């Protein structure tokens, strides 16, 4: 995706990873997370460990969703008419 920062601005050296970079990444991660409990919470600081924790949970949820949807799609492929099946197949390449 095009919204990533350019790599040249990161990692000026292996030992020069600054706190700011990490904070920035954590903020980016936080933006991706679903904000179920804190709709208006756009404060400047988010707790990094909380973000990481929620990220782990979220990734697990996403994976599970992917599995479920895969199952559903495979069932669709088996059962539906040829038009939809063909479309799905062509999408999946």
Q: Does position 89 bind other proteins by CB under 8 A? A: yes
**Which residue intervals of 5-81 are DSSP H helices?**
19-32, 48-79
Compute how many other C-beta atoms are within 10 angstroms of the C-beta atom of residue 9.
8
User: Judged by CB, which is closer to other proteins: 45, or 91?
Assistant: 91
Q: Does position 41 bind other proteins by CB under 8 A? A: no
State which of positions 15-34 bind other proteins (CB under 8 A). 17, 21-22, 25-26, 28-29, 31-34
Q: Does position 36 bind other proteins by CB under 8 A? A: yes
| Residue matched to tokens 């919204």 | 3
DSSP secondary structure code for residue 6 in this structure: P
User: Judged by CB, which is closer to other proteins: 3, or 44?
Assistant: 3
């Amino acid at each position: 995706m095009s919204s990533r920062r350019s790599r040249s601005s990161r990692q000026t050296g292996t030992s020069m990873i600054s706190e700011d970079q990490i904070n920035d990444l954590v903020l980016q991660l936080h933006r991706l997370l679903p904000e179920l409990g804190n709709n208006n919470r756009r404060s400047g600081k988010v707790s990094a460990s909380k973000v990481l924790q929620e990220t782990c949970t979220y990734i697990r949820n996403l994976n599970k969703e992917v599995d479920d949807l895969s199952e559903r799609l495979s069932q669709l492929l088996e059962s539906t008419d040829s038009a939809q099946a063909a479309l799905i197949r062509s999408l999946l390449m």
